[in-house]
Structure 1
Amino acid sequence: MSGTALRDLNTLPGSERKSESSSKGSFARPCTGSIDENADKSQRKISFSLVSAPVNGEEAVNAGAEAGNAEVEYIESENLTDVEDVDTAVKTLVDGLGSKDWVVVCESLNNTRRLSKFHKETVLDMLVDVIPLIVKSLKNPRSAVCKTAILTSSDIFNAYNDYIIDSLDPLLVQLLLKASQDKRFVCEAADKALVVMTTQVSPTLLLPKLQPYLKNRNPRIRAKASICFSRSVSQLGLEGIKSYGIDKLIQDAASQLSDQLPESREAARTLLLELQTVYEKSTDLTPIVSEHPELSSWEHFCQSKLSPLSAQAVLRVTNVAREGIVLGS
């Protein structure tokens, strides 16, 4: 992993909140009733969208601070329409994504989404240049740019699946960071993008990418990575889990059972129950020829693959879950 990625991962959410709040101050604009005639067309459009209804007292400050981001149009993937001029959109895409004008950047991000949806092959060869610029927008302290970049990431996953695996690391770092911060609407968008990633990228390729983040020093990063890891394993299916290696997966899941945050622990429990089900189905399909069939039990498997303390913790989780199912039946 690059030094830049490590520095990004070690950035605490508090510092991002500071950047967000400071950027919002310059983002909001008061209702002036007029507009600069020298401004370009796109800027005039955004300026009008920032005008909000007058309110009194402290509400006016809060509404003013949120006005800009609240009025930016965030288009859901299913509502995207095709670009009017494909050639022009393609030719100006990279320059637009690298622009210093945040309005142009947002427009270019949305064009990236449209092109990925309606002209997938056209953008495929450009991904090596496009993805680093999407990552740059994900780091942008302006919430409008950041959220639009998150939406763009989702559409990239939907369109290109495994084609982006070699460029995934910087996207993954930023999405885990954004999903771990306190700004709710950015966090929710990043969570959705991570869901798309785990369903669209092959788990055999994605799991090795996620694994290092299970041990990240930021507990919120670990929690998000654990959830993604568990969800991605589910995509493997019974045969896929057997091929990937239950022994490797149980060690990863066991390491999260004692994690600081409940989200990590819950993701680990979910994964362990799935691994237990797969293991027991596998042994049911294999005739036991040994005089000691207990050696093929889930308990023996855990004890043979884990340290005594880890095995005890895993068996406690899976046995409690099994007892609950028996009592409920």
Structure 2
Amino acid sequence: MPPLKNLEQEFPIIDAEFRQFCSSHGIFSVEDFLVNDLYSLAAFAEGEAISDKLKQGIAQVLSIIDRQHQPWLNGLELLEDAQMKKRFLPTGCQWVDSLLQGGLREGHLVELAGPSSSGKTQLCLRAAAHIADRKLGTIMFLDTGNSFSPERVSSFLDPSTTSSSLPKEAQERRCRRVMSSILCRSVFDIFELQDVLNRLSITLGRKGKDEATRLRLLVIDSISSLITPILGGRDSHGRSLMVSAGYALKRLADESNLCVLVTNHMVGGEGGLPKPALGESWKSIPHVRLLLSREHGSHISTVSVLRHTSMAPGGAAKFAIDGGQPIAVSPD
């Protein structure tokens, strides 16, 4: 949940004066309200010269907390939501989209795990280019390690419409249109990510429903580079931050009807076998977990399903990206 300071723009009552009162009682975020005695806090507010304003601020924060609670839905409502509101975003790789029964699904948090040089960033950039090129909406790319490459994005444009027969001016306009639909921002730690997600949630809640410009895909490359530094040792605080960030991503995907695609690196597991990083606390958070691998010296990548909400794990497909263009190889 967001720091109180991040809420002032949308809720002016949560101003510096209100936050100073809260901080004097050890409250700095919405989450802190959940672990404090609100009756005692209200009693303290009564003794202040601006008691009415403080009580209004407390009521406002409580209403924000109440909005975080998901309503109960019956099976029919869930089915209608899945069929009517959540559509698929094609990645531009034929066999990957076929494996995922259409592509990346809106409302889902999708994890793409794999070792270095397996093609994780390439697949993210390919999906961003394809979605932008089809005018399906806007893409936001949160770059944690200088992995975003505009040159690689432009190289992924469909060759059938970038041939020499297309006027150079038209090619340039198309490239500018695609690139202007992809927003990139560097994020270097988990706290900056939380701040970005809080602001993004507020911004998306205010915007209209313009389908051509609505945010469709949020890419975080990579989520593990943000979380790994806060893990380790016996202190559970790092794991709590990780779980909080994971559920914030899921909530953003569901409430804003977009797909969140995150990449994760591999670490040594039992018997020396590699496994996705971030441990047991993370593995149950994403709706979909995909494993990407590539044999040494090969340009063929294999993507397999580790976890999916609507299909059994174990399915796999192969694809190649050669010279910037995806080449369908065959499903496994």
TM-score scaled by length of structure 1 = 0.30
TM-score scaled by length of structure 2 = 0.30
Greater RCO, CA 8 A, separation 6+:
2
Q: Which has the higher helix share?
A: 1
Q: Which has the higher strand share?
A: 2
